[in-house]
């Protein structure tokens, strides 16, 4: 039994260890304990996708997971996309070039969803892209530009 | 909001998990995929004293063949429905249905058994369990019992599962070889809960050109998935064509009990149920033709 636990995770290639309350969600752990505030907290019930990160290579909602459940896992957040020198990832460049972000709140979730999608399905067609993006909400309703951004990113990743 | 305080356990064996649950009769909640429980905790609609996380029980992470069909353990994820060859071979309907089950980002964590235990009447998996005559295995300290799906779902979010039991396995028998299936739903956004959904099964005698068997299970239109036997009976013996689908669609409305809510009126849901009935039967018939073409029997 425990109300708090020590959690060890590797996030964007860096090892972290911290003691957290069992009830703490993974997204709050990332933001408050590890200082990785790129991942946003949106609806807190799994609908909006703003908190989407990668856990062991698969996208998950970090707002409906407990930090203690990530013990031993390898995580990737939006901070892990750009090069250490600050050079943007082709997905980020494509979102910039196609105006795939407006207020930017939902953007980290969209980027991480796009990252898994294009890692596993580099030739994803429009239907497939739409199915994956349907798990993320943009309240500025910039969906067309986001769709174009993902298509451009797919092309760039296939032809680096 | 944030989850309330609770005592957290993550046992390595089923026996330990059952002992913890049993010691906290009614105050414990099982955490598997968490895609339904965590929202309830975040919104404080659930305030268990104890959370028993079963994710570290390796023995429950499996999808394996049975003599006919497949057995799926409590920790098998919804994504496995799309990834496992065994599902593609033996239960292609489940593979097809996964497309409708939330989003890839939810299916990565969400478990098949978790959705069944949660028993949201608008969810796909309970309807699929009913349609395919699945059996659910509830395990407690005194042993396991097997529950047919049509007596497992009792009401909204309510099942036959006892507070000291864990839904450890669901068994999907392979459906009859001569039956074709389809699943359809209407939701506000792809991946959201269905306003109305249907799982339809159809068998046709090719020589007589008559429907020999039918299954019609609706979801999102009552407290549990609803099998409408009157509509199934309306199809038996009929020529597999539009007139029969129309008749089934009309009768279907008598067996369902949709609610009015912020998303849709009762009237709208009834109209959608009728339309989906026709579309699903057309789709099933199309698959039967493909099936017959590939086996050369027609």
Which pLDDT score is estimated for B297? 52
> Could you tell me which of B165, B199, B202, B195 has the C-alpha nearest to residue B180?
B202
Express each pLDDT in A14-59 by its tens digit. 999 999 999 999 999 999 999 999 999 999 999 999 999 999 999 9
CB contact residues (below 8 A), chain B span 32-91, against chain A: 34-35, 38-39, 41-43, 50-51, 53, 55, 79
Q: For position A145, what pLDDT does the model report?
A: 97
CA distance A20 to chain B (A): 12
Q: Please report residues of B whose CB lies closer than 8 A to that of A132.
A: 103-104
Q: What DSSP assignment string belongs to chain A?
A: -BSEEEEEEEETTEEEEEEEETT-BHHHIIIIIS--TTSPP-SSSSSS-TTEEEETTEEEEGGGSBGGGGTT-EEE-GGGTS-TT-PPPHHHHHHHHTT--SS-SSHHHHHHHHHHHHHH-TT--HHHHHHHHTTS--TT--HHHHHHHHHHHHHHHH--
| Chain-chain contact of A23 with B39 (C-beta, under 8 angstroms) | no
pLDDT in the model for residue B131:
98
Per-residue pLDDT at B183: 98
Per residue in B58-106, pLDDT tens?
A: 999 999 999 999 999 999 999 999 999 999 999 999 999 999 999 999 9
Distance from CA of B19 to the nearest CA of A (A): 13
- The pLDDT tens digits for B144-158 are 999 999 999 999 999
- For the question of whether the overall pTM of this predicted structure is more than 0.90, the answer is yes
Chain A residues close to B10, C-beta within 8 Å = 68-69
The pLDDT, as a whole number, for residue B268 is 96
Residues in chain A with pLDDT < 50? none
Q: What is the pLDDT of residue B1?
A: 83
pLDDT score for B298: 44
Of A46, A59, A66, nearest to B104 by CB-CB distance is: A59
Mean pLDDT value across chain B? 96
* Below-50 pLDDT ranges, chain B: 298
What is the ipTM score, two decimals? 0.95
């Amino acid at each position: 039994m425990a109300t708090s636990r020590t959690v060890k995770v590797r996030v964007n290639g860096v090892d972290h260890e911290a003691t957290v309350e069992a009830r703490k969600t993974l997204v709050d752990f990332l933001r408050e304990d590890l200082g990785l505030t790129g991942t946003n907290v949106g609806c807190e019930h799994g609908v909006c996708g703003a908190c989407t990160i990668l856990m062991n290579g698969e996208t998950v909602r970090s707002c409906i997971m407990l930090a203690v459940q990530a013990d031993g896992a390898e995580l990737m957040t939006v901070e892990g996309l750009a090069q250490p020198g600050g050079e943007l990832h082709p997905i980020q460049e494509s979102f910039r070039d196609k105006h795939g972000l407006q207020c930017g709140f939902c953007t980290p979730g969209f980027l991480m969803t796009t990252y898994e999608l294009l890692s596993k399905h580099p030739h994803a067609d429009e239907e497939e892209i739409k199915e994956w993006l349907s798990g993320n909400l943009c309240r500025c309703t910039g969906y067309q530009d986001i769709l174009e951004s993902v298509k451009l990113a797919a092309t760039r990743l296939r032809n680096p | 909001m944030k989850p309330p305080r609770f005592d957290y356990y993550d046992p390595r064996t089923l026996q330990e998990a059952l002992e913890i649950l049993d010691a906290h009769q009614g105050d414990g909640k099982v955490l598997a995929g968490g895609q339904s429980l965590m929202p309830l905790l975040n919104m404080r609609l659930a305030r268990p004293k104890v959370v028993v996380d079963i994710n570290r029980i390796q023995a429950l992470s499996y999808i394996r063949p049975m003599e006919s069909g497949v057995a799926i353990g409590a920790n098998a994820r919804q994504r496995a429905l799309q990834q496992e060859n065994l599902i593609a071979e033996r239960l292609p309907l489940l593979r097809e249905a996964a497309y409708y089950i939330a989003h890839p980002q939810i299916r990565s964590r969400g478990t098949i058994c978790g959705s069944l235990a949660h028993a949201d009447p608008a969810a796909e998996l309970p309807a699929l369990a009913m349609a395919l005559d699945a059996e659910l295995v509830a395990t407690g300290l005194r042993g396991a019992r097997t529950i047919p799906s049509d007596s497992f779902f009792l009401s909204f979010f309510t099942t036959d599962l006892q507070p000291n039991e864990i839904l450890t396995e669901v068994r999907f028998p392979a459906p009859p070889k001569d039956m074709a299936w389809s699943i359809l739903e209407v939701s506000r956004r792809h991946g959201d809960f269905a306003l109305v959904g249907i799982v339809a099964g159809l068998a046709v005698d090719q020589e007589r050109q008559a429907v020999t068997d039918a299954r019609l299970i609706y979801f999102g239109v009552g407290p549990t998935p609803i099998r409408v036997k009157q509509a199934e009976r309306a199809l038996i013996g009929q020529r597999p064509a539009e007139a029969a689908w129309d008749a089934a669609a009309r009768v279907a409305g008598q067996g369902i009990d949709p609610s009015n809510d912020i998303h849709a009126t009762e009237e709208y849901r009834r109209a959608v149920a009728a339309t989906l009935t026709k579309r699903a039967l057309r789709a099933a018939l199309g698959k039967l033709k493909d099936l017959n073409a590939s086996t050369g029997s027609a």
